[in-house]
Structure 1
Amino acid sequence: MNLFFEESGDFKAGSVLSQAGEAYQVELASGKRTKVKAKDVLLQFTAPTPQELLEQAKQQSTEIDLEFLWEVAGQEEFGFAELGAEYFGHAPQSVEAAGLILALHGAPFYFYKKGRGRYKAAPETALKAALAGIEKKKQQAIIQAAYVEELKQLRLPEQFKSLGLQLLFKPDKNSIEYKAFIEACSAMQMNPARLMLASGGLKSAKDFHLSKFLLEHFPKGSGFPQIPLPSLPQDLPVADVRAFSIDDVTTTEIDDALSITHIDDHTVKVGIHIAAPALGIQRNDAVDLMARARMSTVYMPGDKITMMPDALVDIYTLGEGQTRPAVSLYVTVNMSDWSILSTETKVEAVPIAANLRHNELDALVTEENLANDVGDYPHKADIALLWKWVQVLEAGRMAKRESFGLKPEQTNRVDFNFYVEDDVVSIVRRKRGAPLDKIVAELMILANSTWGKLLADHNIPGIYRAQGGGSGGWAAKMQVRMVTHAAPHQGLGVDQYAWSTSPLRRYTDLVNQWQIIACVQHGVTAALAAPFKPKDADLFAIVSGFDAAYAAYGDFQTNMERYWCLRWLGQEKRQQVDAVVLKDEVLRLLEIPLIIRLPGMSQMARGAQVRLEVIRWDELDLSIEVRLLEMLATSTDEDLEEAPDDEVVEQVAPESELIESDIANSLTAEVDGDQDLALQESNSVADLSEGLDPKSDGAM
């Protein structure tokens, strides 16, 4: 005797070896023996063999007309044998009965299972809905298959274009478009970004990097809504100065300028003038909320995403020939020993006589030319005077820095400016510490330190940058951090440091400017009038939000700089390049700031120069493969850009116009996994230009 039975939701057949009460010992066609309870037995039969029954039953089930079977079943619960007699017109044979069971079990939309061998026909409405769903899935499968075939031909289906780049960055994983895309990637053994690029969904690798950043940080777009703009204040006293700014040629957000006023033969008053959007923007108004949402201007080679609308920037930027509101720090200096006699902060309107540009002056304003009074350029006498003074300021900072137990700053770094036009990149080396760079850097550091003390003296909070004095190991102690109270910045060699000189481009500076203006306008009652009071929870939230945004923007800029470095290699058709050893297996090209890790490279002294063969690079994943060809001469100091291994170094950078942390990141953070080097550079050099307020569209 043979049995057809159900076991764990599956149907099996076998020969009975023995029976004990309500249980059978059954041998399956595979030779396996199993115990079957009588309640699980659906059929007993003698012929055909169990294996033949299963094969014939499966064939029988495919021939059953499910729609007719459903009509025959009626609406009452039934056993399979009863329905079989109605459907076949006679008591079903063993193969017919087994085939019927398989058909009923395999059509859950038509029949609901009610027990062992018992079923009930689905209601008509439920059946129609289920069948419609099945048909929809069939159609979707056909469409999905068509999408896959198009993608295999490296053609982007028309329907994918309306999705933008959501398929890459924020996909609906239940959509047939996403399923087709992933299926095609698997079939072609390509990652999604590469397939999107190959099929035309991405214009270029640059489009990929930019789109990924925008979708994450600017999901509603990088434009600004239409809002009323503040008007210039009309009641400000006009300063009796001829101020001038010093910026990169690409700068559009000019928010710092300088002036010189001679008091007598031995005394001079230096003005440091900072654009004052805080006079027109009020806390929690529409412009403030927009700026706070962004926290900073985002910089990348050849482009930027501003913190504030261009129309508002145009109102407050310190443009040549304009008189614009400013917060001015006047420093009275004794020219005999360059000591500071007094400082005064004013809120006023400042006439801007000139916007000087680095590309026009860098070759003329050199240390040698200044020493020999060579050259002819605007504000020559003012620049010469400032150059003498800032060297004294720098020496004072270095003495203070050494009093904190740190070594002197390194001044041999090389910076790189990126300029992009029509997708062609120029990368220009600039040695850090050039006179114009140092003038602006030192005076901005002075302003930020002085105003930080002003806030502390008036007992109102601000947003400070601090370094040193933390808890934990040495590296943790030297981590640059943001706090809301005055604290030393040991790397810069100042007792306090409050970012205040970039209010058009950095939200922390706008916040500090509100507080500074309160000090100027209200004096001893500033604590009552300042927008932010001590322990204001909103101020802590701003610090946290700024840190997160600034880090994300810095990572993005680093990636874009690396992308343009790789583009430069192809553009210049470089097959061989020279590089300098930064640390262990970490190299940096001499001509561009491209960091390369060369695993397995024999140990070389820091500063050694090598020649590399460029094998390949990938602008999508920003990787590069090179081979060491030969060792060259030892690098000159200006090519060696790594900070000493045993110390965090704060350095004064040029008045570059990028986010400050990226000056460091471009040199170090690209070194994947090199945590020691990244720590030394990104935490210290991030503030090397603390006074610089980087702000160009393309410089680094």
Structure 2
Amino acid sequence: MQNALLKNNALLSQLKSQLRESTPRVEGRIKATDKGFGFLETEDGKSYFVPPPQMKLVLHGDLVRAALHEETDKKGEQRQTAEPEELLEASLSRFIGRIQRVQGKLAVVPDHPSIKQPLKGKSVSGLDESSLKDGDWVVAFLERHPLKPADKSFFVEVTQLIATAEDHYAPWWVILARHDLPHEQPVIEEDWTLTDPEGLVRQDLTAEAFFTIDSDSTLDMDDALAITPLDAGGWELKVAIADPSAYVLEGSAADIEARTRAFTLYLPARTVTMLPKTLSDDLCSLMEGQKRPALVASIRIDAAGNLVGPADFTAAWIQSSARLDYQKVSDWLEGQGDWQPTSDSLTNALRQLQALAATRLQWRHDHALVFRDQPDYRFVLDADGKVTDILAEERRVAHKMVEEAMLLANTCAADLLAEKVGQGIYNVHQGFDPEKIGHALKLIEEQGLNYHGEAFNAETLDTLAGFRHLRLALDDLPSGWLDARLRKDQGYSLLSILPGPHFGLGLQQYATWTSPIRKYGDLVNHRLIKAVLAGVTPHPLEDTLTEQLTAARRINRLAERDVKDWLYARFLSEQIGERFDAEIISINRGGLRARLQANGAVVFVPASSIHAVKEEMNADAEHGWIMIGDAIRYRLTDRIQVELSEVKVDQRSLIGRLVG
């Protein structure tokens, strides 16, 4: 009897093993829904239903291997369902969440729009568990997962309290913690002493009439200008840039920290500096009436806007004679406001700079590229961190005057470094992604776009001249739709240690050195320029440096966007039902996203509120338009009116519906 049972058990195990081996399996990512069930989505676009009991074993975003089973749904139809069996990659590791006690025990709800379940856990790292209250923001790590061998459930460890539930400044602390960014200036105890490389001589240019133009609230002023008209026409422009490399030696504690941070982080109502504020806001800031070390480029431009020979670079001492404000200078130049320059020489300098900027702007239109101005949006906050207003600020004439000067200076630095060093921190942009240029050409051909009767092809678009001709042809179109759609086929701007073209600017090479207080790459370029001036050979740059800086730039941009999204949600939660003018910025099968013109917030308009009959509507992300029936009804860059219908502050999302 016992032998028979053993034999039957062996047969049963063999049968189960055969069934398991014959069961089809797939790999894919879990997509959760609000209704408890989910889907497993594979790379080839297939989707499989995951029943609620199985969803309790996984989290949204998990990469899993799952067994496929046939079952009959409530309508009596056959469908395949996925049963997750093996975790290939967890969607959570280190994450941000909020405390929620479950039956008195500690749990954390991840701060994620598609993960709602509380995950049980404990506090570690000396954190007092009893002090944590519901709603507090914390850093946690996922330690156990039901699909891991020997694990039976989810379990997390809480390592840090970020902000209490009542802290109105939680958006700043939470987003900085999410991206693992510092929330204060560097704290470095050092007796800051100016040190130049051997052989470098600083000229005394304190008698030159330099002035700064910046925002009224700016403390880290890193550029000053002086301008003189030439007898033969044109100008000599001197661009003085603050020189923190005189205090921050390569390999020092301040240098290592600056490299790690890579950039000064600008968030609404909070700036986290790359350098200690003793340097950024004082010793290196080109403050009015204060003698400061600087690198100066003397640039000659003829009356047509052409560069006359290479720029002359020198290390110097300068002293700004005037601290000017963008808005006041713009008002004065436009005949508004009460502000007036304090002297005839300053009056003349501002007029000359305005003329130079207009000439260079025209030169760039004729020989390089000029993009349409986009407004900046400024958040106005009260003492408690509550947003009281969001103001759209257009780029005015004074902004453009400084911008043209900086573009000139950076172009000259790129030329100097390419000739004398052969490397630097360059901004490069290769135009179209090689893998997408075929699709771009198809769109161009479909629209019959050409430049003065000449068709575009892959070879011409791979040149600066050809890319520029395309941009000019796009600018002449009455709609910005094709331009917006083609941008999806372009590559990203990258940082490189080798010179290369910047298609987006229409320039052969471009290297920034005009913000060394705020950008580590600019600080590196300062050191290279000073090495040239001192007649020494600089150390070769590491290939990994530009990768690190590019990654840091991306993280900073994400952090800035995330804080703004949170503040937008808070601010607009009191304006549900209000109507706004907006511009369509993206389209997919789920609906469209539009940017509100008044404040820059992005609102999602679901497909269901665009057209009532689902079968009659086709939201085509490939072409960037929405068709209803046989007609194109909405396209990228179209202006629409949106009514704000819902604000999800916890998810930082805005939902609207079309008006009219």
Maintained 8 Å contact 2:171/2:563:
no
Maintained 8 Å contact 2:264/2:274:
yes
Residue in structure 2 matched with residue 515 of structure 1 by the alignment: 528
Within the candidate set 561, 568, 571, 1:568 is matched to 571
Within the candidate set 190, 204, 208, 1:241 is matched to 208
In the superposition, the TM-score normalised over structure 1's length comes to: 0.58
Residue in structure 1 matched with residue 97 of structure 2 by the alignment: none
Q: How does 1:647-686 map to 2 (within 5 A)?
A: none
Distance 1:265 1:488 in 2: 32
- Segments of structure 2 that go 5 or more residues without pairing to the other structure are 11-100, 110-117, 145-152, 438-487, 612-632
Residue in structure 1 matched with residue 416 of structure 2 by the alignment: 454
Distance 2:247 2:500 in 1: 30
Residue in structure 1 matched with residue 555 of structure 2 by the alignment: 552
Q: How does 1:303-342 map to 2 (within 5 A)?
A: 303-313=270-280, 314-335=282-303, 337-342=304-309
Distance 1:625-1:216 versus aligned 2 partners, 3 A rule: closer
Paired letter, 1:458: K
Secondary structure of residue in 2 paired with 1:251 = coil
Secondary structure of residue in 1 paired with 2:509 = coil
Residue in structure 2 matched with residue 119 of structure 1 by the alignment: none
Paired letter, 1:435: V
Residue in structure 1 matched with residue 448 of structure 2 by the alignment: none
Task: Deviation per CA, 1:53-86: give whole Å up to 9, x if none.
Answer: xxxxxxxxxxxxxxxxxxxxxxxxxxxxxxxxxx
- Does residue 542 of the first structure (1) align with residue 508 of the second (2)? no
Q: How does 1:38-49 map to 2 (within 5 A)?
A: none
Distance 2:136 2:143 in 1: 11
Distance 2:230 2:403 in 1: 24
Distance 1:421-1:326 versus aligned 2 partners, 3 A rule: farther
Maintained 8 Å contact 2:377/2:392:
yes
- Does residue 376 of the first structure (1) align with residue 340 of the second (2)? yes
Distance 1:412 1:216 in 2: 30
- Does residue 591 of the first structure (1) align with residue 598 of the second (2)? yes
Residue in structure 1 matched with residue 391 of structure 2 by the alignment: 428
Q: Give 1:414 shift.
A: 2.7
Distance 1:476-1:462 versus aligned 2 partners, 3 A rule: farther
Residue in structure 2 matched with residue 354 of structure 1 by the alignment: 322
Q: Give 1:478 shift.
A: 4.1
Q: Give 1:300 shift.
A: 0.7
- Segments of structure 1 that go 5 or more residues without pairing to the other structure are 1-18, 27-32, 37-142, 175-182, 187-191, 402-407, 632-700
Residue in structure 2 matched with residue 581 of structure 1 by the alignment: 583
Paired letter, 2:424: G
Q: Give 1:606 shift.
A: 5.1
Task: Deviation per CA, 1:437-481: give whole Å up to 9, x if none.
Answer: 111111111111111110111133101011126643336664322
Q: How does 1:155-194 map to 2 (within 5 A)?
A: 159-160=128-129, 168-171=138-141, 173=143
Secondary structure of residue in 2 paired with 1:446 = helix
Residue in structure 1 matched with residue 497 of structure 2 by the alignment: 484
User: Higher relative contact order by CA 8 Å / sep ≥ 6: 1 or 2?
Assistant: 1
Distance 2:504 2:348 in 1: 31
Paired letter, 1:377: P
Within the candidate set 472, 475, 486, 2:435 is matched to 472
Secondary structure of residue in 2 paired with 1:604 = strand
Maintained 8 Å contact 2:428/2:501:
yes
Distance 1:279 1:306 in 2: 18
Distance 1:546 1:150 in 2: 33
Distance 2:490 2:653 in 1: 33
Task: Deviation per CA, 1:581-613: give whole Å up to 9, x if none.
Answer: 324422111210011121222533555544433
Distance 1:452-1:150 versus aligned 2 partners, 3 A rule: closer
Q: Give 1:224 shift.
A: 2.7
- Does residue 622 of the first structure (1) align with residue 652 of the second (2)? yes
Distance 1:150 1:410 in 2: 46
Residue in structure 1 matched with residue 173 of structure 2 by the alignment: 210
Q: Number of residues paired by the alignment?
A: 455
Within the candidate set 282, 298, 302, 2:249 is matched to 282
Distance 1:503 1:35 in 2: 74
Distance 2:496 2:108 in 1: 55
Distance 1:495 1:215 in 2: 38
Maintained 8 Å contact 1:302/1:421:
no
Secondary structure of residue in 2 paired with 1:613 = strand
CA RMSD after TM alignment:
4.0
In the superposition, the TM-score normalised over structure 2's length comes to: 0.61
Residue in structure 2 matched with residue 201 of structure 1 by the alignment: 164
Q: Whose helix fraction is larger, Structure 1's or Structure 2's?
A: 1
Secondary structure of residue in 2 paired with 1:392 = helix
Maintained 8 Å contact 1:205/1:619:
no
Distance 2:190 2:656 in 1: 54
Within the candidate set 503, 512, 528, 1:499 is matched to 512
Distance 2:316 2:5 in 1: 102
Q: Give 1:233 shift.
A: 5.9
Paired letter, 1:580: A
- Does residue 463 of the first structure (1) align with residue 425 of the second (2)? yes
Residue in structure 2 matched with residue 251 of structure 1 by the alignment: 218
Q: Which of the two has higher C-alpha Rg?
A: 1
Distance 1:163-1:241 versus aligned 2 partners, 3 A rule: farther
Maintained 8 Å contact 1:463/1:484:
yes
Distance 1:387 1:161 in 2: 63
Distance 1:224 1:482 in 2: 25
Distance 1:454-1:578 versus aligned 2 partners, 3 A rule: same
Distance 2:213 2:264 in 1: 19
Distance 2:413 2:108 in 1: 63
- Does residue 612 of the first structure (1) align with residue 576 of the second (2)? no
Maintained 8 Å contact 2:410/2:513:
yes
Paired letter, 1:443: A
Distance 2:563 2:414 in 1: 34
Q: Give 1:279 shift.
A: 1.9
Q: Give 1:424 shift.
A: 3.5
Distance 1:159-1:400 versus aligned 2 partners, 3 A rule: same
Residue in structure 1 matched with residue 23 of structure 2 by the alignment: none
Secondary structure of residue in 2 paired with 1:237 = strand
Percent identity (aligned): 20
Paired letter, 1:242: A
Secondary structure of residue in 1 paired with 2:202 = coil
Distance 2:102 2:596 in 1: 47
Residue in structure 2 matched with residue 365 of structure 1 by the alignment: 333
Q: Give 1:321 shift.
A: 1.3
